Amino acid sequence: MTARILVVDDIEANVRLLEAKLAAEYYGVLTAHDGPTALAMAAAEKPDIILLDVMMPGMDGFEVCRRLKDDVATRHIPVVLVTALDGRSDRINGLEAGADEFLTKPIDDMMLFARVRSLTRLKMVIDELREREASGRRMGVIAGAASRVGGAGGRVLVVDDQPRQAQRIVSELAVEHRPVVESDPEKALMTAKGPVDLVIVNAGAKGFDGLRFAATLRSDEATRHLPILAVVDFDERPRLVKALEIGVNDLLSKPIDPQELAARARTQIRRKRYTDYLRHNLDHSLELAVTDQLTGLHNRRYMAGQLEALVRRANHGGEPVAALLIDIDHFKKINDGYGHDVGDEVLREFAVRLASNVRAVDLPCRYGGEEFVVVMPDTRLTDAERIAERIRTHVAGAPFRTSGDKDLLQVTISIGVAAASGAEDTPEALLKRADEALYEAKASGRNRVIARAA
């Protein structure tokens, strides 16, 4: 797994050293020697990771990181602060500025590359979600972009069998989050499938293997995207690397620093909320792509795909499939006489009546305008005709209330019915027969059902 990495340092020798190490591992490397150049390159080049020195003249790394995280175009890029500073306050400042990690010089190559691989995986997921969200906005099915999300008020699951350490974590997090403790890993797995924003696991637990617990979270579809913060002993370097390899998002060293705990938890919760926002928009755009926004029924695009599969199955000896093509009689007169707002009310009310008079397996769709289609799996022509008559009777039997119950409209429908012949039939031929039957129903007086055999 490769990536494009922006290395930022005012000392040329440091830049060249990192560039050589990264290039040897087949990473693409961009370089900058000051804060303003780094900001411009990050916005223009969109690197996958930024390795950012702290001690730079003019604009230091903390300020560069803050500006990167304040910019909607770059805030999703992981930032690793690289510095000779090793003080607690510097580490906290870096994390609170939005940095994803804080590495000290001389850089431990094993930890550097483990971090780079872990952050690259994260960046790939976010990039894919962002790209799909952008596509949804271009198509008009997603309005607006993500605003900056907060990292407070999170639901945190602490998985630890050491009561004193767990209680310290809970006490610190309870200031701005809602933490709960679970010492039993089996119960913790069930809790993690609920509304949880962050899991903090003790990698050095005595009664269970913390890393195996983390790996189980990653392998379960229900918890795969949960951020995991592992409490570890930084002297156990191979175990740290293994934690990152199995998908732990961040590491917290023992003894636990309260401010560092708070900063790392806040960062992970903020990122989860951002990716949740992107996933929600993706799900919403997919739903809108197959749903008619006025009636809430499936649209023509979705209907075509489902009908094609059902007709193909019927042609190969599977269950029969039927289709109803429905037209609201004299709908133009409703629009012309009462206005399009009333026409929309009629369409919505008809969609409700249609959906309530077909079976759970049937697929009612808006075909376009005032035309609707019902795709009926495992249905023969005579059964489809009977259901069509039930729909027609229900529509004609009670007037439609519109405009705040002031007006009562008598609405009727005409229905054409057809069924797949099973002899190399096609969706187009099936719908054409239903359309011919519908034309016959309208020509013979409307408010009736006509079935057309193959």
Q: Is 142 helix (H, G, I), strand (E, B) or coil?
A: coil
DSSP assignments along 40-89, one per residue: HHHHHH--SEEEEES--SSS-HHHHHHHHHHSTTTTTS-EEEEES---HH
Hey, what are 260's tokens? 């560092």
370 is catalytic: yes
Q: How far apart are CA 285 and CA 302, in angstroms?
A: 14
Is the Cβ–Cβ distance between 434 and 418 less than 8 Å?
yes
Hey, what are 58's tokens? 């003019």
Hey, what are 97's tokens? 């500025």
Q: How big is the chain by its Cα radius of gyration, in Å?
A: 30
CA angle 188, 194, 198 (to 5 degrees): 70
Question: Which bin fits 141, alpha (ψ -120 to 50), beta or left (φ > 0)?
Answer: alpha
- Give the long-range contacts of residues 251-259, CB within 8 A, separation 24 or more: 252/200, 254/204, 256/165, 256/168, 256/169, 256/172, 256/231, 257/88, 257/92, 258/172, 259/88, 259/92
Query: Catalytic residue among 308, 370, 424, 428, which?
Result: 370
Hey, what are 284's tokens? 């919403």
331-338 helix and 340-356 helix, angle to the nearest 10 degrees: 140
Residue with tokens 């962002």: 130
Active site residues: 370
